[in-house]
Structure 1
Amino acid sequence: MSAPEAVRCTLMRGGTSKGAYFLADDLPADPGARDDLLLRVMGSPDPRQIDGLGGAHPLTSKAAVVSGSTDPDADVDYLFLQVAVDTPGVTDRQNCGNILAGVGPFAVERGLVPAGDAETSVRIRMLNTGELAVATFPTPHGRVRYDGDAAISGVPGTAAPVVVEFPPAAGPLLPTGNVRDTVAGTEVTCVDNGMPVVLVPAAALGVDGAETPAELEADAVLAGRLRALRAEAGHLMGLGDVEGTTVPKLTLLAPPRDGGSVGTRTFIPVRCHTSIGVLGAASVAAGLRLPGGVGEGIAELPAAGDRVRVEHPTGFLDVDVRVDPAVPVVRRTAVVRTARKIFDGTVFPRPAETAPAHARRPGGRHDSAAR
């Protein structure tokens, strides 16, 4: 299939991200041709993405490719693709739990899954890792409902809740086998509850963890330390050379300031997230539940219950996580997100002759077996 002149597309906000959702059959089967097309759809490489759908930030330059699943435990397959903003790169090295929130509604809208009379649960296989998730959302009278009273930090107003539950990940919760490691001279906890994350005490890097993302991004010394830490942690976690990729995430931990469990600042890879990713927060919450981790003495966990409130620059994200530290393994992870359909129609990619000849796809697929 050659790259089409026009493509059916649904633009959706999923959680605190925004992306273009496609049926797999509407895109080229060849990954290189597909990625080149997505660069032209999003308007990359260009820091403003002025000639495409992208919003000039990694959180608004994302794509979901969805199809019916052959896995008996799933209804649909979801491939997440991060489209770089100012470089010609498309990567499948990570999942995105925010864009995931829109996959269930999209699957119903496009007829991949029938809607229930009151609510619908869609079983989703995340092709980036092979892991599963179940999204449940309201479908009164067999139609997806987007309005509601659920509020999430980083998104104005309210919307219908999308409850996303994650079965235990297939890979180890502690990729290095240790609850603490010394990486680039800093004590960290490397954890993977759906997203490889390195937990780092903010004070260990000379910041207090309450700075704005812009302030942290302007700190050249901090950026250098983050790069060195990511490079070493990537090898230690079995991810290989992570230069040019977005995993592992680095999350700085600080005492909570607004009644939550912990304050965070997350880097992707050296740009500071304006909130926090769903799967990243799931990994942070699980890491805080591990005795002996670097979160001890920083986090303030509730005395009862599974909920961990993860504070971030624009609010908080609640994660219900149950950990058996003796194994260690996560028994349950669930979050509440929201999603909204922005438009459904046809997108016209930038002409191929003005686009880069080949999309650069940093690294290979990040899968469970490799972790």
Structure 2
Amino acid sequence: MSQIAIPFLFMRGGTSRGPYMNRADLPENLEDLARVLVSIVGSGHALNIDGIGGGAAVTTKVAMLSASDDPWADVDYFFAQVSVEDGLVDFKPTCGNILTGVGPAAIEMGLIEAQDGETPVNILAVNTGAKVAAVVQTPGGVVNYGGGAQIDGVPGTSAPVALQFMETVGGATGAFLPTGALRDEIDGVAVTCMDVAMPMVIARADAFGLTGHESAAELDENRGFFDRMEAIRIKAGALMGLGDVTQSVMPKFGLLAPAREGGTVATRYFMPWKTHPTMAVTGAQCLASCALTPGTVADGLVRLPNEVPARVVLEHASGQIEVLVDYSGGEGGTVIKSAGLVRTARKLAAGEVYVPRDLWEGN
């Protein structure tokens, strides 16, 4: 079987990992692209045994980069979520964890020239239109991956990558509250449907008889909960204007509960058919925005901070994540201006990944 080689970097971004590739090295047509990415990841097998995926949704993600034509941005970041077992590719969402590696990868690929000390990289997330300003550590003009920053869900420490997310409201649906309401009731459960960085359906854990402090494994074993959640998610997707979402990872689902470990609120995030082992960067922004908005399902669970930007600490299945939200509130409603986070990334490997030539002849 003849194969074609595609250059790639293999990187951890935040609490996810996957191949980072130059968009020009891949098929332009999305149908061809999907087939190539399924082959690269090895989707269709629980272990992704015939590809470089890791058998979990956080390890079957792909970042495709190119120089941007946008006057603000340096790099266009096109994201794909490849399913583990179903041979499906979703180009609708973006991923904030994988985005953490975009700045370092763009420098490694030669798309951005590194500066001495720190290198700012302005990123356009083309899936949703969000703009993200990243700062990468580059002493001596070389990407540095070693440092003292630690994020829950990743062992050890690494160099920090500062991220400031802008223009993230309504990226997928066109509205902060896609249904027009702070709360909706679906199948007897009160939910808040919100679109900040990621469209989400958010409910209280106790509405499902849960504490909100269950482990990811405990939740994954609770198939009755997942069946109820998925039915609500599908109906919410239609109400949010996203159409039939049965095969789409959007909207994502989140649960809220009172904090136990000193955070602002306890959260659980779903991808959506498995529990996220930590927390998505995009989901963290949406959940933090929900917590800051009076009248949502978060009412009574959180003590709203007095300062702006507001420091919102979300407890998740593996620890905590902090989001610094610049927002305004009042009679006109909540307005989310930007959200800042610090994450880490690391280059794991570089080389060529191979796909059968009968899938694609190459550009």
**TM-score class normalised by the smaller sequence:** over 0.9
SS of the equivalent of 2:58 reads helix
Q: Please give the alpha-carbon distance, in whole angstroms, between the structure 2 residues aligned to 1:91 and 1:304.
A: 38
SS of the equivalent of 1:348 reads strand
Q: 2:342 aligns with which of 332, 336, 345?
A: 336
Residue 369 of structure 1 is matched in structure 2 by: none
Structure 1 runs (4+) deviating above 4 angstroms are none
Do structure 1's residue 229 and structure 2's residue 235 form an aligned pair? no
Deviations 1:156-204 (A, max 9, x none): 0000111110113352222222211112211111111110111100000
Residue 244 of structure 1 is matched in structure 2 by: 247
Q: What do you get for the CA RMSD once the two structures are aligned? A: 1.6
Q: Please give the alpha-carbon distance, in whole angstroms, between the structure 1 residues aligned to 2:301 and 2:14.
A: 27
State the AA in 1 paired with 2:159: A
Residue 213 of structure 1 is matched in structure 2 by: 216
Query: Scaled by the length of structure 2, what TM-score is found?
Result: 0.93
SS of the equivalent of 1:231 reads helix
SS of the equivalent of 2:245 reads coil
Q: Please give the alpha-carbon distance, in whole angstroms, between the structure 1 residues aligned to 2:105 and 2:348.
A: 11
Deviations 1:43-71 (A, max 9, x none): 11100111211000000001000001111
Q: 1:348 aligns with which of 321, 334, 354?
A: 354
SS of the equivalent of 2:225 reads helix
Change (3 A) 1:170 1:317: closer
- The Cα shift of 1:301 comes to 4.0
Do structure 1's residue 322 and structure 2's residue 321 form an aligned pair? no
Number of residue pairs the alignment of both structures matches: 352
Q: Please give the alpha-carbon distance, in whole angstroms, between the structure 2 residues aligned to 1:294 and 1:322.
A: 21
Matched-pair contact (CA < 8 Å) for 1:174–1:191:
yes
State the AA in 1 paired with 2:242: L
Q: 1:296 aligns with which of 277, 294, 299?
A: 299
Query: Scaled by the length of structure 1, what TM-score is found?
Result: 0.91
Q: Please give the alpha-carbon distance, in whole angstroms, between the structure 2 residues aligned to 1:143 and 1:15.
A: 20
Question: How do 1:9-158 and structure 2 match up within 5 A?
Answer: 9-158=8-157
Residue 203 of structure 1 is matched in structure 2 by: 206
Q: Identify the range of structure 1 (251-260 vs 210-219) with the bigger mean alpha-carbon deviation.
A: 210-219
Change (3 A) 1:170 1:294: closer
- The Cα shift of 1:4 comes to 6.2
Q: Please give the alpha-carbon distance, in whole angstroms, between the structure 1 residues aligned to 2:357 and 2:200.
A: 37
Q: Percent identity?
A: 44
- The Cα shift of 1:270 comes to 2.5
Structure 2: give runs of 5+ residues left out of the alignment.
none
Deviations 1:301-324 (A, max 9, x none): 444451100111001110001222
Residue 363 of structure 1 is matched in structure 2 by: none
**Larger strand fraction of residues:** 2
Structure 1: give runs of 5+ residues left out of the alignment.
358-371
Matched-pair contact (CA < 8 Å) for 1:173–1:328:
no
Q: Please give the alpha-carbon distance, in whole angstroms, between the structure 2 residues aligned to 1:298 and 1:327.
A: 19
Q: Please give the alpha-carbon distance, in whole angstroms, between the structure 2 residues aligned to 1:193 and 1:109.
A: 30
